[in-house]
Structure 1
Amino acid sequence: MDKRFFKLYNLTEEEAIAVLDTPQDKIEEDDSRYVAAAHLVNFNSENSIKALIRAIQNTDPSLDNRIVRRKSVETLGRLQAQAAIPVIRTCLADEDCYTVEIAVWSIGEIGCQDREILEEIAQLLDKPGQLYRVIIHTLAKLDYKPAVARIRNFIDAKDETIQSAAISAICRLSGDYKEMEKVAAFLEHSNVNARRGCIQDLIDARYYPAIPDIASCPVSLVFRLRAIRSLAETGIKEGILTFEAIQPSLEQVLRDHPHDLKLVHQYDQPPSIEFVIRELYHTDFGRCYLACKTLLDTYAIEAPEALLTTYAQEAHNDYGAHYHVIKLLGWLKYEAAYDLLIEALQNAAPQFQKSRAAAALALGEIGDKRAILRLQACLNSPIWDLKYASLMALLKLGDFSSYEIAAIDPDPLIRAKVAQISEKALFTVNP
């Protein structure tokens, strides 16, 4: 599990346990039981697990304590703590639907084949007011086939994310995947949550035919890369897919050009450049990509100055807009942005991670060979998409020099890309 985003608290295990064990009404102003419960994900020990179990057993009805209980259940799930299943099971009867949801998810993460517990989870589908998507997903993950009849009641749910989960779960539990095309159809839904949810369902069902459609879905590339990478790993391992088969979709997502996406939004009238720039800050990336396309197609001359202005004002500190600005400067081949792109390439803040790969590709687009050494240095990074994007950019810049580090990279996709570049370099030198 990637824990880079969890290691944000300057607490030892003992300190976190002490804070978590403190009664809520005696907690000091600078302490947080919620933070302590979250931080213990870094300590998979008996002491941490026991402390998290004690936190769940504290049934003080205050909102603060309910939130701490939820986080404790979640952390135990992330730790895959088998010993915690009995206490997590008690949360399935909780009055708080969010606690129930996290308890179900946590049991799914830990793994459970106790049919009594699985039936108890399935019965939650008959209970009003529950968060059914996670329940359905967990029942499918744990392969509880007796739940099919209950799950079938949700294939026409008003909530598209529940519909998608239900159809996918029935396919998985029945072994009949004919209906999975209905799940893939949600990739073009106007609701961003429906698009994101169905991507997860396609991953869980290992529905490989959807890979090209996932690549073209207008959601953040984080969701699409995760999906294609996951499907590639399982498909290649099972001998169903090859690197060459998934490479076009993988690199399409990394390039992330709006012309390669099936956009689900449109403007009812020609927008001003000011309006389009503001759309780069939208939480629905479908709207962001429409804005990117408009800037490239309609405002290519004015766009660089407008992008640099919004970068200075806000985008430098907004990781969504930051990503789009960096990518657009590359597509616009704005050579004057070289220093800004190098800065983005080297920005190690976790929230700006996807901008680093975007900066690598943008440097390839503007064609400044000064970037070659900086891009080669990125091959030492532990971040796979930055390494892969750097290889793509180096290839764009015509660099076929040594990639010894990447050639022995632990990631098979990186190694496959390096092998391909090496073959091309050999062909270039000896046609």
Structure 2
Amino acid sequence: MSERFDVLFAGLPEEKAIELLKTNPEDLKNPVEKYTAATRLAACQSDESLDALIEAIGLEQENLFNRITRRKVLEALGRRRDSRALPGLFSALAFDDEPSVINAVDSIAQIGSVLDEQQRKTLLNALEGSDNQKRSVIQAHARLGINEGDREISVLEQDANPLVAGAARAYAAKVHGRIDRLQPLIPQLTDPIAGRRRSAVIDLGDAGERSVLKHLVTSPVSMPLRAKSAFQIVDPEKTGLVPEPFTELITSLLQDNPMNMAIQQEWICESSVSEIEKNLQHRDEGKQYGGALTLLNMPSRQQLDAIDRIHDKFWSDYGANYLLTAVIGLKQVHERSDLVRTALAETLPQYAKSRVAAAWACLSLELNDQMELLQEIQLNAKWLPLKWSCEQVLKQMS
């Protein structure tokens, strides 16, 4: 998902970013520029910028900005997906800074190269860490398809921390074909604790088992996270093609109707604008969807007034923006089709999910005047859920 935010740093030239990365933060007027430079270089292609990132793994750590920069560097190297970074990334597994170790592990998995025996051993040894580090190491084993480590990882399927146990179960299913191990993750998709729901969505995506897709569709977790796992399951090669048997489920997931979701009663708020606003801004997506459900169920006149008030106050909030756009499409609120047009035309990366909702709203509201823009997005969008949504909408509008 971080690739969607490259536009925010595109104005920083590569040469300047390399210079900033190599500068002592104490010599910078704004030391934040040092780790911003690392993020910028993640989107570059040159050998010079790659070498600069690899060299920065060795930054001294007494300075806070150097520590943060190293973490960003390790993350950036994963996005570069160049195996020349592997020696530096493996050296980072010995660091005493947990976020650096986790970023290094994640980047090793992103690069996706076949590891030699010593590298596999070093990665497995990184299990000796915090629960967050354990989870990351197990995920790397699943994503790289590493058979070794089954004995050490399988015992963690019963770990008291569901984030560790879930990753271990996904590994068992993905690498060793033990699909039955995924069963405890299904009820976790509706757990009262949002973090557990989110981790279950990620784990089922890593497992790659298509039979769980129907459960992902109804889980009260953010649409982008569920979409990432769903496309990981049905389109692991990232071709942008969804097999016909799964088109209906993927469509349902992307249309994201709260009426079809497993929402607990306590997440549904009263029919007042102030309560809906509180829910839409809540950190727990279950509460957000509960607020959207209340808005969907309002009488038309009251609903229209609520949409206007929420729009006036929270349209710039990308969570509320998304759910408001979705509601307008799902309830076919023709009077506010202008908001759908606005959402579809928004190019800032944090509003990408609103564009998905707007695309489907164009279909339900029959906004044929948006077909040219839909075609442009379908051709140029890099985020698969947005690209695929526009493609499906255009097919049905033609």
Aligned twin of 1:206: 208
Q: Does 1:116 align with 2:112?
A: no
How does the TM-score come out when normalised to structure 1?
0.82
Aligned twin of 2:302: 302
Aligned twin of 2:263: 263
Structure ranking higher on relative contact order (CA contacts 8 Å, 6+ apart): 2
Shift in Å at residue 373 of structure 1? 2.3
The structure-2 alpha-carbon separation of the partners of 1:13 and 1:310, relative to structure 1 and needing over 3 Å to count, comes to: same
Any idea what the Cα deviations from partners look like across 1:302-344, whole Å, max 9, x if unmatched?
A: 222122112111x221111001111212333322212222222
Distance 1:392 1:17 in 2: 42
Give the 5 Å matches for 1:15-94. 15-29=16-30, 32-94=33-95
Secondary structure, counterpart of 2:12 in structure 1 = coil
Aligned twin of 1:107: 108
Secondary structure, counterpart of 1:262 in structure 2 = coil
Any idea what the Cα deviations from partners look like across 1:109-151, whole Å, max 9, x if unmatched?
A: 2224122222122122234576211111112223333312222
Secondary structure, counterpart of 2:127 in structure 1 = helix
| Mapped contact 1:171–1:179 kept (Cα < 8 A) | yes
| Mapped contact 2:18–2:52 kept (Cα < 8 A) | yes
Aligned twin of 1:322: 321
Distance 2:373 2:224 in 1: 23
Distance 1:128 1:228 in 2: 28
Distance 1:38 1:162 in 2: 28
Distance 2:93 2:237 in 1: 35
The structure-2 alpha-carbon separation of the partners of 1:235 and 1:300, relative to structure 1 and needing over 3 Å to count, comes to: farther
Aligned twin of 1:344: 343
CA RMSD of aligned residues (A): 2.7
Give, as a single letter, the amino acid of the residue that structure 2 aligns with 1:80. R
Aligned twin of 1:281: 281
| Mapped contact 1:280–1:320 kept (Cα < 8 A) | yes
Give, as a single letter, the amino acid of the residue that structure 2 aligns with 1:131. Q
Report the number of matched residues.
391
Distance 2:89 2:52 in 1: 13
The structure-2 alpha-carbon separation of the partners of 1:230 and 1:119, relative to structure 1 and needing over 3 Å to count, comes to: same
| Mapped contact 2:128–2:134 kept (Cα < 8 A) | no
Q: Between the two proteins, what is the percent identity of the paired residues?
A: 26
Any idea what the Cα deviations from partners look like across 1:43-75, whole Å, max 9, x if unmatched?
A: 222211221122111223222111111111111
Secondary structure, counterpart of 2:57 in structure 1 = helix
The structure-2 alpha-carbon separation of the partners of 1:230 and 1:174, relative to structure 1 and needing over 3 Å to count, comes to: closer
Give the 5 Å matches for 1:138-217. 138-217=140-219
Give the 5 Å matches for 1:394-405. 399-400=397-398
Shift in Å at residue 23 of structure 1? 1.1
Distance 1:103 1:50 in 2: 16
Distance 1:74 1:182 in 2: 31
Give, as a single letter, the amino acid of the residue that structure 2 aligns with 1:143. G
| Mapped contact 1:258–1:289 kept (Cα < 8 A) | yes
Give, as a single letter, the amino acid of the residue that structure 1 aligns with 2:361. A
| Mapped contact 1:164–1:186 kept (Cα < 8 A) | no
| Mapped contact 2:227–2:253 kept (Cα < 8 A) | yes
Shift in Å at residue 198 of structure 1? 2.0
| Mapped contact 2:277–2:291 kept (Cα < 8 A) | yes
Structure 2: gaps spanning 5 or more residues: none
Give the 5 Å matches for 1:347-386. 347-365=346-364, 367=365, 369=366, 371-381=367-377, 382-383=380-381, 385-386=385-386
Give, as a single letter, the amino acid of the residue that structure 1 aligns with 2:28. I
Aligned twin of 1:253: 253
Shift in Å at residue 164 of structure 1? 0.8
Shift in Å at residue 297 of structure 1? 2.5
Any idea what the Cα deviations from partners look like across 1:143-163, whole Å, max 9, x if unmatched?
A: 333312222332233332222
Of the two, which has the highest radius of gyration? 1
Distance 1:37 1:183 in 2: 36
Aligned twin of 1:425: none
